[in-house]
């Protein structure tokens, strides 16, 4: 079970961009889940996560 703090700045910003940039919002949401799994030592496959990080970085630079 993953708990999110709805008052966290990242979650607030994610809510703001959900409509205007849905692809980015999905990537960030997936990254949040993978970060939690990684922190807990439960992430089985990190290749998708690394590729997603690169995609997020590219989108943020545009």
Tell me the per-residue pLDDT of 13-62, one tens digit each, with 9 for 90 and over. Answer: 999 999 999 999 999 999 999 999 999 999 988 889 999 999 999 988 98
Asked, for residue 36, whether it belongs to a domain, the answer is yes
Give the range of the structural domain holding residue 53, as residue numbers without chain letter.
9-61
Cα(44)–Cα(18) distance, integer angstroms = 27
How many structural domains is the chain composed of?
Answer: 1
User: What pLDDT does residue 46 have?
Assistant: 87
User: What pLDDT does residue 1 have?
Assistant: 81
Helix or strand or coil: residue 62?
Answer: coil
Any idea what DSSP says for residue 8? S
Residues 6+ apart with CB under 8 A from 14: 25, 28, 29, 32
Asked, for residue 4, whether it belongs to a domain, the answer is no
User: What pLDDT does residue 53 have?
Assistant: 94
Cα(37)–Cα(46) distance, integer angstroms = 10
């Amino acid at each position: 079970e993953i708990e999110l703090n709805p008052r966290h700045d990242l979650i607030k910003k994610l809510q703001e961009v959900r409509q205007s940039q849905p692809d980015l919002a999905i990537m960030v949401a997936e990254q949040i889940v993978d970060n939690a799994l990684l922190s807990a030592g439960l992430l089985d496959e990190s290749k998708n996560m690394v590729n997603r990080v690169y995609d997020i970085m590219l989108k943020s630079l545009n």
